[in-house]
């Protein structure tokens, strides 16, 4: 795993794209603070950049460095969630401007699998995580379902087995600083 992590970090630092297993489905990733790398993700997915992408952080401390104010209820949601849960926060900071939605929000998930936690911790900043598919096409559940166009479009493919027995996209909950909570995807 160490070799895979080091290979990913090299590509991320060069502004490249990685294809990697996450706590949900296989993801396309890049340095979340690099606007040019973020552009490449939108281009590969053929997705409008007005549709926001998800960011992964290694832990709650990293989350706190990239959001102006983490609402108290976010900690409860993270502690109580029974599946990977992405939270949309107001006023993100320290990430590429083209990653932030028009309403100044960003979807962030604290990674729950070891590979992502080690990778992001060692990289030292958030990485983008978006499903490994062309926008509008079905989300691939297994590595073998990923389209050749995606495989060819990334700079590095992580060589680890599918460990997730029941892969599915994360839940998404929007938390506004004014206390509003809205479920976007169950």
Cβ 133 vs Cβ 140: under 8 Å: yes
Write down the mean pLDDT value for the chain.
93
Could you identify the residue written with the tokens 């060069």?
14
Cβ 37 vs Cβ 15: under 8 Å: yes
The whole-number pLDDT of residue 52 equals 79
pLDDT in tens, the chain (186 residues): 899 999 999 999 999 999 999 988 999 999 999 999 999 999 999 988 777 799 999 999 999 999 999 999 999 999 999 899 999 999 999 999 999 999 999 999 999 999 999 999 999 999 999 999 999 999 988 899 999 999 999 999 999 877 777 788 889 999 988 888 898 888
d(CA 160, CA 46): 26
User: Tokens for 125?
Assistant: 């900043």
| Gyration radius of the chain's alpha carbons | 15
User: Tokens for 177?
Assistant: 């600083």
Quote the pTM value: 0.93
Bridge pairing between strands 127-131 and 26-29: antiparallel
User: Tokens for 34?
Assistant: 């690099």
pLDDT per position as a tens digit, 97-134: 999 999 999 999 999 999 999 999 999 999 999 999 99
Cβ 12 vs Cβ 18: under 8 Å: yes
């Amino acid at each position: 795993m160490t070799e895979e992590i080091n290979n990913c970090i090299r590509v991320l630092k060069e502004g490249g794209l990685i294809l990697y297993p996450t706590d949900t489905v296989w993801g396309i990733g890049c340095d979340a603070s690099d606007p040019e790398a973020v552009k490449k993700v939108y281009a590969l997915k053929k997705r409008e950049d007005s549709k926001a992408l998800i960011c992964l952080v290694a832990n709650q401390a990293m989350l706190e460095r990239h959001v102006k104010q983490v609402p108290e209820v976010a900690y409860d949601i993270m502690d109580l969630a029974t599946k990977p849960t992405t939270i949309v926060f107001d006023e993100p900071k320290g990430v590429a401007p083209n990653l932030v939605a028009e309403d100044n929000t960003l979807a962030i998930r604290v990674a729950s699998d070891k590979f992502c936690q080690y990778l992001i911790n060692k990289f030292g900043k958030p990485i983008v995580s978006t499903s490994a598919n062309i926008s509008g096409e079905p989300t691939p559940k297994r590595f073998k379902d990923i389209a050749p166009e995606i495989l060819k479009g990334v700079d590095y493919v992580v060589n680890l087995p599918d460990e997730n027995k029941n892969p599915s996209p994360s839940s998404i909950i929007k938390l506004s600083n004014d206390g509003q909570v809205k479920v976007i995807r169950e």
